[in-house]
Amino acid sequence: MPFLQAAALAVTLCVSTGCGDDATRPTASATSATPTPGVATPQTAAPVTTRAARPKKPLPNPAGWPRTMQIGLIDPENGATALSRRAPFGVRWHYLSGGAGTSGSWDLWRTGGGSYATAYVQDSVKTGTVPFLSYYVLQQTPPFDTLPDEHQRVLRGIKNPATMKAVVADLRLALTRMGQAGNRTSVLQIEADLWGYAQQQGEPATTRAAIAGTDPAAVGLPDTLAGFARLITRIRDQVAPKVLLAYPVSVFGTNKDIVGSDPTSDQVKAMAASSVRYWRSLGRPFDLMTFEYANRDAGYQVKVDGMAEKDAWWTADNEARHLEYVRGVLSGSKRTGVLWQVPPGNTVKKIMDDTPGHYRDTKVQALLGRKGRPYLRAYRDAGVVAVLFGSAFPNDTCACRRTDQYATKGDDDGGYLAAQVRKYVRDGELPLRRLPKRGG
């Protein structure tokens, strides 16, 4: 994704006691160990009883979501079989991008006519993985796509009848083609950045969104952001009832961030409450919440973007803040969530040297590499159902087998993510406490 306002959240999480034994620690991130938030202190074991335990009633699962916490990775067209051979990833994801109705639109990929979306879902279903597509089209759609300010490309585009007619038609195509792929659960994330930019700029849910006349399903809906959200749901209900719609929760919409602002616990709770209030004002749209960490590895931010290490690498305090924010949003919204676009770099493998294809980060170590995976468990307990790794930048680490000029033997992260996913599944995937469902 082009530069998210949340880019300052690119992180290093493996900074406290409990990281993998072979993990290295960037000097700039050194910090004292703190307890992992959300993980209960072990209690004295309960007395043994001879009474047979009543089997737990399975959680209702109308959406057909896997009953365990899934780990996913960005993956290209026709990549499902190769991905499954590397490791048992439960989700694969990709963007649907390019300006609606332009020569760069996703709907011309593959054989055209939106065939990419159908094929991506079908390819995923073959290997038993959940397909997750991120629809990111609005700011690339004329006539405002050439403006230098991303905020304005989005916020002026949403008010423009020509832009919205093209975007709504494109959204209907995406949902129709996903629906044609069969009766299996899939996910479409709707316009990461839009809702955060609108909230950040003080745009109310009643701000104009030019949906009148864009689609038959728009009849009777207000020309507002809230109306646009309802229109998307109506179209989904008509053509793709098995598709779960995802609302991207952007922490930058609160005009604060986890790293640069160093918010207190009370401030983080207020940030979560602000995000929930804005979402409610939109009419409580969609079925899932998604949360970005960043859109590129910390090493990339330092070496390529010139960011200071203290702003690129997370500390244990940053971990606690992010978890508290996610927990607050999911508790307030009564939705389940997905951690999305989590940078896949590591500081374990020697090949990770902060050069193209090998930029470092420690998200994988923090979530999957620590003994007992306490941080992953804490997110599960908060309502997170999946963690999806992948950078938005082609020269960044992909944890894949590259075919470009930066290709090396094996995965470009030294195989660390795939190994951790195999170990996670082998050790026993975390059973979910809550499952996604339509409308939350």
Question: Tell me, what's the pLDDT at 132?
Answer: 98
pLDDT of residue 56: 64
Residue 188 belongs to what H/E stretch?
strand 186-190
Q: Is the confidence at residue 412, as pLDDT, over 80?
A: yes
Whole-number average pLDDT of the chain: 87
Residue 6, pLDDT > 60, answer no
Which domains, and CATH codes, for the chain? 5-22+63-427 (3.20.20.80)
Contact in structure between 292 and 8 (CB atoms under 8 Å): no
Check pLDDT > 60 for residue 1: no
For residues 244-261, average pLDDT: 91
Cis-peptide into 143, omega within 30 deg: yes
The answer on pLDDT for 188 being more than 50 is yes
Q: Which two tokens stand for residue 20?
A: 């993998």
Cα torsion 293, 299, 303, 304: sign = negative
Quick one: pLDDT band at residue 35, thresholds 50, 70, 90? very low
Q: Which band of pLDDT confidence, cut at 50, 70 and 90, is reported for residue 12?
A: very low
Lowest model confidence (mean pLDDT) among 19-28, 137-146, 276-285, 427-436: 19-28
Q: Distance between CA 130 and CA 153 in Å, rounded?
A: 31
What pLDDT is recorded for position 258?
Answer: 84
Position 99 confidence tier, pLDDT thresholds 50, 70, 90:
very high
362 or 73: whose pLDDT is higher? 73
Q: Please give the average per-residue pLDDT across 368-390, as a whole number.
A: 97
pLDDT tens figures, 169-179: 999 999 999 99
Q: What is the pLDDT of residue 294?
A: 81
- Are 398 and 390 a contacting pair, CB within 8 Å? yes
- Return the higher-pLDDT residue of 12 and 208: 208
Q: Where do runs of H (alpha helix) occur along 45-158? A: 80-86, 115-126, 150-157
pLDDT at 39 over 50: no
Which band of pLDDT confidence, cut at 50, 70 and 90, is reported for residue 301? very high
Burial of 298 (0-12, 13-18, 19+ CB in 10 A): buried
Does residue 268 carry a pLDDT above 50? yes
357 contacts 398 by C-beta, under 8 angstroms: yes
- Between 257 and 157, the higher pLDDT residue: 157
Whether the predicted pLDDT of 184 surpasses 90:
no
pLDDT digits (tens, 9 = 90+) for 211-221: 999 999 999 99
Which pLDDT band, with edges at 50, 70 and 90, does 429 fall under? Answer: very high
Q: Could you give the CA distance from residue 66 to residue 435 in angstroms, rounded to a whole number? A: 8
| Residue-level pLDDT at 341 | 95
pLDDT of amino acid 20: 34
Nearest to 361 by CA among 346, 339, 376: 346
168 in helix, strand or coil? helix
Confidence of residue 123 (pLDDT cuts 50, 70, 90): very high
